[in-house]
Amino acid sequence: DAGVIQSPRHEVTEMGQEVTLRCKPISGHNSLFWYRQTMMRGLELLIYFNNNVPIDDSGMPEDRFSAKMPNASFSTLKIQPSEPRDSAVYFCASSPGGLGQETQYFGPGTRLLVL
């Protein structure tokens, strides 16, 4: 079975440009999570969806970040405009139902570098 799929795997862009990260969760999973990982701040939850509805976006750093989940098999995380401090690895994860004891399955991540 395919796991969580993220694209692109690597992205290099210049400050001010729009960046769109994509995620396809595991089929049948109802919850989707976006994380950001940096050396300084570790692994941070940005936002999560349950049944395509955003449940908690308190981790989204600022208005430059937005996330959507138009259907059960696709989500995007957009940064507009991007800044060098947004450089990080962004992970998408999914879980079957969004219950607290469920395993989250992580994608391979998108490594973003903003110059």
Q: Which stretch binds another protein (CB under 8 A): 18-26, 66-74, 76-84, 102-110?
A: 102-110
49/34 Cα distance (integer angstroms) = 9
Burial 71-104 (b: 16+ CB within 10 A, else e): ebbebebebeebeeebbbebbbbbbeebeeeeeb
- Is-contact 67 75, C-beta < 8 A? yes
- Tell me if 107 contacts another protein by CB under 8 A: yes
Is 43 one of the binding residues for another protein (CB under 8 A)?
yes
The one among 12, 99, 113, 115 contacting another protein by CB under 8 A:
99
Is 4 in contact with 92 (CB distance < 8 Å)?
yes
53 touches another protein (CB under 8 A): no
Q: Which is nearer to another protein, 30 or 81 (CB)?
A: 30
Contact set with another protein (CB under 8 A):
4, 31, 33, 42-43, 45, 48, 50, 55-56, 91, 93, 95, 97-109
